[in-house]
Amino acid sequence: MAHIASSAKISQRHRQRLQEKFPEVRFSFYEGIHEVLEQAADADGLITYGEDLTGERLRRLPRLRWIHVISAGVEQLPFSELEQAGILVTNSRGIHEVPMGEYTVAVMLDWVRKLSVFRDRQRERRWDPSIRVGELAGKTAAILGAGAIGQGIAKRLQAFDMKVWGVNTTGKPLPQFDQVGTLADLKPILEEADFVVVTLPHTPQTEGLLGEEAFGWMKPTSFLINIARGPVVVERALLRALNQRQIGGAVLDVFDQEPLQEDHPFWEMDNLLITPHISGRSPLYMTRALEIFERNLPVYLSGNGAYINRLDLSRGY
């Protein structure tokens, strides 16, 4: 009998559903990886958020053959050890399309329609029709990372009559985008974009991608949205670009260090909105993540079929 352990906190409702749907599987649900190591060392499958595994912990799970990560981000996984051990890894890429797409549209509308400014005026009991607002229609958005999340964002922005650029590794056209390029095309793409949305994974190739040079290519009115991973953007360079009004503004949902330090200068910026890594939050998060697991589990049990979102461990995503 397959034994699947979970180091991720899963509600009783979801536990019951899995047990009823797969009675041939032994499930063990825990509050964290330490309980898994102590009580389920014989597990051959693991459900995890992906941030709790190390090479040493993998060695304490000698029967492990499959890991399903119930998030899209996998940069904290010990890839070399996983590849060496021959462990299959899948993730929940794609489940964030709706919440992160809506988040992106929300902050863009807030920026052009100045809703946060009007909220400040309301607190001051000040009637101020002089504030200039804008539109999304006719503007250009560059989405760096044209995967499932990027495509979901593009689909929503098309509804606002925006021109949408995408960036991926191949430059292969995609129906959600007006044009698609590669990182080699980054300079002309940033020069044209009114909005730059970052959804790229954090890899050695993307770390520090948006730094001083990239901000120099952007328009002084352009708006940056980072919902990917903090290290893709060089924070010191962004701070300088915002202070010097080299770009118009930014929204950051991710940072080099989280939580963001209380004394970080980002907190004081008047052209920056900070959110605490919540762009992918949704009341349907776990339901969507486990739907992918449930579709992959029969493949694992039978050895037949193709896995959804199987990672290439040699590439890190």
DSSP-assigned states of every residue in 2-71: -EEEE-S---HHHHHHHHHH-TTSEEEE-SSHHHHHHH-TT-SEEEE-SSS--HHHHHT-TT--EEEESS
- Cα 202 from chain centroid (whole Å): 10
Question: How confident is the model over 31-83, as pLDDT tens digits?
Answer: 999 999 999 999 999 999 999 999 999 999 999 999 999 988 898 999 999 99
Active-site annotation holder among 245, 258, 310, 315: 258
Cis geometry, peptide bond prior to residue 259 (ω within 30 degrees of 0): yes
CATH of the domain at 141: 3.40.50.720
- Structural domain that includes position 71: 3-95+283-302
Amino acid in the structure at residue 246:
Q
Mean pLDDT of 177-203: 97
Active-site annotation holder among 93, 96, 202, 229: 229
Amino acid in the structure at residue 172:
K
Distance between CA 245 and CA 215 in Å, rounded? 11
229 among known catalytic residues: yes
Model confidence, pTM: 0.90
Active-site annotation holder among 277, 281, 288, 295: 277
Distance between CA 216 and CA 108 in Å, rounded? 21
Q: Is residue 316 part of a domain?
A: no
Count of domains forming the chain: 2
Q: Residue 27's beta-bridge partner residues?
A: 4
Q: Is residue 312 part of a domain?
A: no
- 35/103 same-domain check: no
Q: Is residue 315 part of a domain?
A: no
The pLDDT of residue 132 = 97
User: Which ranges constitute the DSSP H helices of 137-207?
Assistant: 148-158, 186-192
Tokens of 267: 């907190």
- 152/298 same-domain check: no
Distance between CA 158 and CA 119 in Å, rounded? 28
Contact 215, 198 (CB under 8 A): no
Question: How confident is the model over 82-95, as pLDDT tens digits?
Answer: 999 999 999 999 99
